[in-house]
Amino acid sequence: MVHQPLPNLYLIDLDQPRPGFHHFISSWVYKKGDAVVLVDPGPSSSVPVLFDALASIGVTRLDYVLITHIHIDHVGGLGLVLKRYPEARVLCHSQVVRHLVDPSKLWKGSLEVLGSLAELYGPIDPVPEANIAPEYLLTSGDLTIETIETPGHASHHVCFRLDDILFAGEVAGVIYPFEEGLYLRIASPSRFVYEHYRTSIQKAAAIDVSHLCFGHYGYLRREHARVFTAAQDQIDLWLDIVGRHLLNGNENLEEFVFDEILKQDPFMDLFKKLPVDVQERERQFAANSIRGMQGYLKERGQIFTLDN
């Protein structure tokens, strides 16, 4: 399905054949004059869906493909996209170029972390290095693309500003579209670094735009301050809850922490209104974030059990 928030902005659903993986993965298309920009092509398994959607909105060529980060659900299909649109230039963080050219380590790591989910997303084709242009301010005709480094969800995560729109990737986490409010969930990695994550949220918050476009999922209009303030409050709350449960030496920490989060986090209030299969997906990804925070606190020696 294709949604059109603005006359020149398109959201393409890349639903996966797995319970809970609908209204989750997406790709964005932005048109400016004669230029066409694709943001995060998604996994290779859904490239046929992506191609059909591009055809339906009249895309016959791509000028730029923007990569917010190289997790497989965002970048796995890039090699296939470039075979169809070989003229496209790829903008990304400079440190990920080698992994796009030779994705063997990326694929191996994806299998180790995601297991069957990585297999569902599909393998990763290599990207010709000649197509990659890791520039941080690119101007072509009326189009200007600004790249903003926002490490946190990944060390190489970036956001892109095009005109009055910020393609935010996962800098603030994951949202779910509700008319009655904001559902927001942290998306911290296994190698979580609080300082990087929070600083990047603040950096994104300082960018004055009218539309925020998320990797997962959807977009917000004129809610710039609200969503980033919520993300900062949320990460502080989650880290505090994880720390207290570690201090108490609780077993089954992920379960205890998540239950308390549902009671205390106002931006998780709508969890109970999520479809049941989406709730299960969200529990699993929240557990990953909790584990990352647990590792962060333990590595820094900030947590001691009551026995110490």
What is the rounded CA–CA span in Å between residue 303 and residue 306? 10
Output the six-digit token pair for 261.
């989060």
Please measure the distance between the N-terminal and C-terminal CA atoms of the chain and give it in whole angstroms.
56
Q: Where are the chain's structural domains? A: 2-224, 233-299
Look at the block and give the residue holding tokens 């296939």: 80
Rg (CA), the chain: 19
- Give the pLDDT of residue 302: 61
Q: Which fold has domain 2-224?
A: Metallo-beta-lactamase; Chain A (3.60.15)
- Give the pLDDT of residue 306: 35
Q: Which of 37, 38, 8, 36 is nearest to 26 (CA)?
A: 38
Q: What is the mean pLDDT of residues 89-105?
A: 95
Q: Which of 96, 111, 99, 261 is nearest to 173 (CA)?
A: 261
Tell me the per-residue pLDDT of 222-245, one tens digit each, with 9 for 90 and over.
777 789 999 999 999 999 999 998
- Give the pLDDT of residue 248: 78
3-class state of residue 50 by DSSP: helix
- Give the pLDDT of residue 135: 73
CA 72-34-92 angle, to 5 degrees, is 25
Q: What is the mean pLDDT of residues 109-135?
A: 92
Tell me the per-residue pLDDT of 279-305, one tens digit each, with 9 for 90 and over.
999 999 999 999 999 999 988 876 544
Across the strands, what pairs with 39? Answer: 28, 66
- Give the pLDDT of residue 193: 94
- Give the pLDDT of residue 221: 86
Confidence (pTM)? 0.93
